[in-house]
A and B are shown apart, each in its own frame.
Chain A
Amino acid sequence: MAIDTSPPRSTTVDRATPTGPRPAKRLRATPWADRLAPYAYVAPFFVIFAVFGLFPTLFTFYVALFDWNPIGDRTFVGLQNFEVLFGDTRFWNALGNTFSIWILSTVPQLLLALILAQLLNNARLRFANLFRMSMLVPYITSVVATTIVFASIFGREYGLINAALQFVGLERIDFTSDTFASHILVSAMVLWRWFGYNTLIYLAALQAVPRELHEAASVDGAGGVKRFLFVTIPSLRPVIIFTVIVSTIGGLQVFTEPLLLSAPQLTGGSGRQFQTLTLFMYEQGFGNFQFGYGSAIGVVLFVLIVVFSVINFLLSRRISSDR
């Protein structure tokens, strides 16, 4: 048993530096160091998560019980914030908007992704890499940039879409004042950002489907549409459910798009027509100095998301055991 001259392995941070070439004969690690090593390796995650993830999450529940003015007083009010919240029309409005935007973005997005995945899933397709890479271009574009561009394209007076509508003789649409139109605008941004990403996910799953299955369908004389209905969709079922749930969790947190569209106000349009739950939380917390009320909204969102995550977990487990 030799003596390890290196510093104790209690932390991993000091291990981050590459050690460089070492002499061919190495000293043996002491058993206690080897026993502790695994803990040291996983510790950074747990420490960081505890301080910046777990604690703030638990603290949200605590703050939600107060009337908490970030620059003034805080008073314990028990569950009053929640009582007010559930009677607050703005909350239900934001919840409704959130779900509306979620449906408007998710359904067309996943349909589009499925179709594109089937089109891309062909070994004889030329320019396949170009097509695939283009699909990720929206993903690398920031939401801030996306929103600014879309606000211009969908602008009421000088936007491209409205210029086109006018050109074909249709009425102009004010995409930020009409409720439904504003949901379409926000959804379009979410859709744009994620449809290519989901296309690639589906494509990967489709490529795992045995070729015989596709070919059997083709030999039977099935065209693209039939193949889509009878091969693509059934074989992607677990992945589809998974992506639905992931986009639900994402959809519950849509924030930047409505914030920038409504800036400098935080109301998501003058009638709160496109204010989402996360924006409502931000408005109350950082716009109206109501940390307690804002945290209560955070708690409700938290519960919603956990519920969807659990559904995700149960569903995907059930589906994988079905197969």
Chain B
Amino acid sequence: MAVTNLNKTSVLIVGAGPAGLAAAITLKNKLPHTEICVIDKAAEPGNHNLSGAVLEADCLNTLLAAVDKDWKQSEQAKEILAYKVTKDNLLFLAGKNFPFNISISIKLAKALKLNFAQMSHMGDYIVSISKLTKWLSQAAKNLGVEVIHGFAAEDIIYDEKKNAALGVKLVDQGLDKLGQKQPNYVAGEIINADVIVLAEGCDGLVTEKFIEEAGLVRRANQLYSVGVKEIIKVSDEQFRKFTHGRAVHALGYPLWTPVLGPAMFGGGIMYPAGENHIAVGMIVGLDWKYCDFNPQDALTNFKNHRFVKKFIEGGTIVEAGAKMIPEGGYFALPRNPQTSAIGKANVLLLGDAAGFVNMLKIKGIHNAIKSGIAAGAAIAECTNNPAAIASKYTELLNMSGVIEEMKQAAKFRQTVAKLGPLFGIPLSILGGKLPKFKIKKDYEVLTSKKYKYKPSKNYDKDTFTAMAATEHREEQPSHLTITNTNICAQKCTPRFNSPCITFCPAGVYETVNEQVKPANPSNCLHCKTCQRKCPFDNIRWTAPEGGGGPRYKNM
């Protein structure tokens, strides 16, 4: 028997989320003999996937009908797509008591054929992306894809001369806190591959390194928001009142109130999350100005709003988590300046790693899956010419409608960032006619102003973290580093009172012996908010040993 080099594969996909798995499924289905490995840092499928999530499910049909035309009949498909949106509430909360239903404006926009109408969710499905991912993972495995969990990638080996990436390096395992090798040390392997697909999700470690090394360019800065979410077990009656198919999106309080402020981009969400479970969440643009703001405070206020409270009062939190969303949209897509490809040569960028979130729809999963389908098809078409894959992929993306959709929503988020929600949201109706604003990076806009609706009680981050079931091996080097600790003491603490301590949803940062430290790296939820919101760009997130991090089940 020939000895196979198991550190080499034809196609290596980094990240087993919807995008990466869609690429694997499409490719394996087209070319069953292709050797495909998908690696993921989470311990189990779906553990690092968190979203609202409202899904435009057509893409699933495109993906799965090619494999099995009766895919919808399977028990799992029925379970995952059990909640169809039948009641689409877009609310404006004027204060802590009164909701105004503004769904009518969406209907109006629809009638007027405005871009704004994309905000409608009727007919979509409310899904758990964790469960969806777990299911897609099984589908990929059934086709013979090697989906391998517990391995984190930290770098890509890019050969400029050859204009190709050669492989990916994994994180070392078995270092102690000080970085010394323990007896069980295993050096991070290098996995060589002909094609590398980066589907790491938002603010991907390897993706960002590759963008820099390969000279990909974003026409606008990437913007982010962070979502914090809880799943609450409620009573039969509360769930019945909420109804099975209701999707609630709430603008206004507690993120934005006219004239007097605060003025932040984002809103609250509320969806069913299985029988007698309701998901509540708060998504906040990272360009908030208030140095004492924590998105979980906004979540607390939202939960205490009269409209929300009645559905969840007395319930128990059974799961919680946090994750960032890339919001820069069309102009923030990283492209090869020569070819406009979203990727380069044999490297492709997919899903959230590329930034395919449509901010008008506040949705990205459908685009992630479509980008995976395009990637799978592109690789299948260019088996003999890996260098052409990135261009082929971009061509297929254009044809798939993903790029067109991104274009329509292109200026929305930037307009709001520039003008604030009061003028920004209504003005964004103009869509493509708006000028392209130049927007600062999220971390540059923090001020010493305070958040007006700070709740009297601190949010219970410990329980939040426990409910995210996050875990890391304790005796490893901290995967979070503060680049220059002098900045914390001399600049940040006096001016902003160390906002990382406040905004980190998992309470990773603390002052120990008068020094701000990532004191509890093992609580980290891998949301990476700190890396993008530290006002001095002074925090770096690297991947910890594989298998660590949250263990989401139904998020």
Q: Do A and B come from one complex?
A: no
Q: Which residues of B contact A (CB under 8 A)?
A: none
Q: Which residues of A contact B (CB under 8 A)?
A: none
